[in-house]
Amino acid sequence: MRKKQIDLFFKELDRALNQKAEIILAGASAGTLMGHIRPSLDIDFEIKPSFKRPDLEEIILSAGRQAGVAVNFSENINHWSMISFLNYRKTALNYKTFGKLRVKLIAPAYWTIGKMARYYALDARDMAAIIRKKKLKPKNLVKLWKRALHASDLSLELGQFKKHTAHFLKTYGKKLWGKRFRYELFVENF
Tens digit of pLDDT for each residue in 118-147? 999 999 999 999 999 999 999 999 999 999
Q: How confident is the model at residue 36 (pLDDT cuts 50, 70, 90)?
A: confident
Pairwise CA distance, residues 33 & 4, whole Å:
10
Helix or strand (DSSP H, E) at 55: none
pTM of the predicted protein model: 0.94
The predicted structure's pLDDT at residue 18: 95
Helix, strand, coil percentages (3-state) for the chain, rounded to 5, are 55, 15, 25
User: Which tens digits make up the pLDDT trace of 68-117?
Assistant: 999 999 999 999 999 999 999 999 999 999 999 999 999 999 999 999 99
Query: CA quadruple 92, 119, 131, 166: dihedral positive or negative?
Result: positive
